[in-house]
Structure 1
């Protein structure tokens, strides 16, 4: 069963885990520089960023692409 998505680097990762790892790696200022989303610049927090990213697919796609390019290549 664990081989259902062998080519998906995000398989098994929650959005929260992705965001936490990116925030630890880049910091909020670095995240905003890489992905220009206001939730990373204006009073950033994990909770508010998750809320925005769960509602906004284009922003989530950019964050997931940054995770892949940073940690999976």
Structure 2
């Protein structure tokens, strides 16, 4: 089965975060995107709140997800 041309298609932000946490963990996410909700008591809930109101951070997380999908890591 071919990978979709856009890995974000049909993915919610919560699903993206959950996949990233499961496959690379909070530490690697914090190294890639240095935001407090990844470095201090990280949780899906706090991250969703921050990312939904911070477009630049959401874009970085989405780019991180696409990068890892393209590498076959997610």
Query: After the TM superposition, which residues 12-27 of structure 1 pair with which residues of structure 2 at under 5 Å, given as runs?
Result: 12-27=10-25
State TM-score, norm by structure 2: 0.84
Aligned equivalent of 1:3: none
Aligned length: 68
List runs of 5+ in structure 1 lacking aligned partners.
Answer: 1-5
Query: After the TM superposition, which residues 1-73 of structure 1 pair with which residues of structure 2 at under 5 Å, given as runs?
Result: 7-73=5-71
State TM-score, norm by structure 1: 0.85
Distance in 1, matches of 2:59 and 2:44, equals 17
> Larger Rg: 1 or 2?
1
SS state at 2:15 partner: helix
- Per-residue CA deviation, residues 16-39 of structure 1 (Å, 9 max, x unaligned), is 000000011111111101111111
What is the root-mean-square deviation in Å for CA atoms of aligned residues? 1.3
List runs of 5+ in structure 2 lacking aligned partners.
Answer: none
